Amino acid sequence: MSLHTKSAAHTAAAFESFDEEWQEWHDAHERHRAHPHGFLAVTHLHWLSSEATRLEGAPGSWSTDADVVRVVLELGESLQQDGVELNNGEPIEFGPIEERGGINLVSGDTVIEVAKRGGEYIVRPRNPSNALLQEYQGTPAYTPNAAFAVAGTFVPFEAPRPTTVGAAVEGIQHVYEAPGEIRFKLAGEELALTAFNGHAPGSLSVLFTDQTSGKTTYAANRSLSVVPDADGSVRLDFNRAVNLPCAYTDLATCPLPPAENRLPVAIEAGEKTPYERQDQK
């Protein structure tokens, strides 16, 4: 076999491996998204107030005051936490809950999320029979393209910057801590993305839009998770850019990207506009 033939075979194998790895990741992400009590199962979004109110999809009368959530259950209503029945005839209290935090309670087949978003308390029942979940077809995505997996550098700020961003729900804002920015080159342009702390230790999350947003990809945002090396080097694989819950349901409170993360290039990689939203492009 000639050197040219060996090189071509190696390149073909590398592309095949890249595609296979992406497919495995994408399949796992789809399974996670379609979890019986994931965000596709959310049936209602309730904002709590000081006035006790019965909520559709959840047992009891709910209210909040002084950073505490209170629920009063009637005889025969059930609410469990970690397998323990909470209805003992007395009002039940939860909190305080930290911003973007939450707890999960169970009532029959329904998981009831109690959380704080934008400084306000919410209740979101999640039921596996929800039509959005039952009818979910999967999410379309671009064919993986190694040209959109680029090297970058994480450059920390002198001090983490509190960054206020809008939300998919009008009237609330999110404040995230931005430890730095990721600098990279794509389509011949020098670019940067403000990064927020990710869910996993040592990870970063970037929210962005680009020139495909509102055309082939969801208009409001996409997200990409990265893990910088000790020297700050990072791999930005936009083939793994994903939609946030607000791309599928109006019952989500997802953050919007900061203004500087609106990229002037077309990132034709990663997840596209969900089928459920394609009539809204």
Are 193 and 182 contacting, i.e. CB atoms less than 8 angstroms apart?
yes
pLDDT of residue 6: 46
Strands (E), the chain: 46-47, 53-54, 61-65, 68-72, 80-81, 84-85, 92-94, 102-107, 110-117, 120-126, 149-165, 174-186, 189-197, 204-208, 222-226, 233-237
| pTM of the shown model | 0.90
CA distance 148 to 238: 6
- Would you call 105 exposed, middle or buried from its count of C-beta atoms within 10 A (0-12, 13-18, 19+)? buried
Closest by CA position to 154, among listed 240, 258, 234: 234
Are 249 and 136 contacting, i.e. CB atoms less than 8 angstroms apart?
no
CB atoms within 10 A of CB 119: 11
pLDDT of residue 171: 87
Phi first, then psi, for residue 240 (nearest 5°) are -105, 20
pLDDT of residue 170: 87
How much helix, strand and coil, in percent to the nearest 5, is found in the chain?
20, 40, 40
Evaluate the CA torsion angle 41, 38, 251, 56 in order and state its sign: positive
pLDDT of residue 1: 54
- Spell out the per-residue pLDDT of the chain, length 281, in tens: 554 544 444 455 556 799 999 999 999 999 999 999 999 999 999 999 999 999 999 999 999 999 999 999 999 999 999 999 999 999 999 989 999 999 999 999 999 999 999 999 999 999 999 999 999 999 999 999 999 999 999 999 999 999 999 999 988 999 999 999 999 999 899 999 999 999 888 999 999 999 999 999 999 999 999 999 999 999 999 999 999 999 999 999 999 999 999 999 999 999 999 998 887 65
Joined tokens for residue 240: 């793994």
Q: What is the DSSP letter of 148?
A: G
Listed in sequence order, the residues at least 6 apart from 172 whose beta carbon sits closer than 8 Å to its beta carbon are: 117, 118, 119, 120, 253
